[in-house]
Amino acid sequence: MRKFSFRPAVTFKGRKFNGLRGFAGKPFHPPLTDVPIGAYTIAAALDVISFIGKSKPWGHEFFQAATFVFIGGALVSLATALTGFWDWLKSTEKGTQARRTVNAHAWTMVTMTVLVLVDIAVRWFGTYTTTPIAVLILSLVIAVVMTFGSTIGGELVYDYGFNVEMTGAVWEKSETDVFPGEEQQH
């Protein structure tokens, strides 16, 4: 019995291209979210380390690293927000629970992005050598808001199946790969 099947997961065969939304069953927005989520979590941790080590020579290096990680996360957030907006525009209907949940997710993430831009500006225009308490608090607030907004986004996928296209035949015992838009051949 076969143990692995990579091809159906990476193929675009049978998938309709939906522009900025990605391909049917392979939207662009969800994988893009991984970079800002990781960046803002790591940056907050680096700021904690910098704050703890403010009297050590490595305290400055951790502050700089957090700054670079925030900038990288913010750059990828632009593409993430654009694809998320396009999903909202093309995939949700007014008056539905899904639309209200997408709106809550979007506004939470917009708030987080504004906080990130404020954080970057404070770092850029400040004369800090290590993470000051105000920046540390801001970084931790960003991590909390990001976690909350990501939880709402996860609810859209896992509870509502938002932008998820299922192939029911993948749960049947078989040696045959099932591709999007196809039925299992017996």
Q: Is the pLDDT of residue 72 over 90?
A: yes
d(CA 180, CA 165): 9
Q: What is the DSSP letter of 175?
A: S
How far out from the chain centre does Cα 150 lie?
7
User: What is the residue extent of each domain of the chain?
Assistant: 26-165
Helix (H, G, I), strand (E, B) or coil at 38: helix
- At residue 141's C-alpha, the angle toward residues 137 and 145, to 5°, is 175
Q: Which amino acid is at 144?
A: V
Instruction: Indicate the pTM of the whole model.
Output: 0.82
Helix (H, G, I), strand (E, B) or coil at 22: strand
Q: Could you read off the pLDDT of 131-147 as tens digits, one per residue? A: 999 999 999 999 999 99
Percentage of the chain modeled with pLDDT above 70: 85
Q: Could you read off the pLDDT of 5-19 as tens digits, one per residue? A: 777 777 777 777 776
Q: Which of 122, 38, 124 is nearest to 76 (CA)?
A: 38
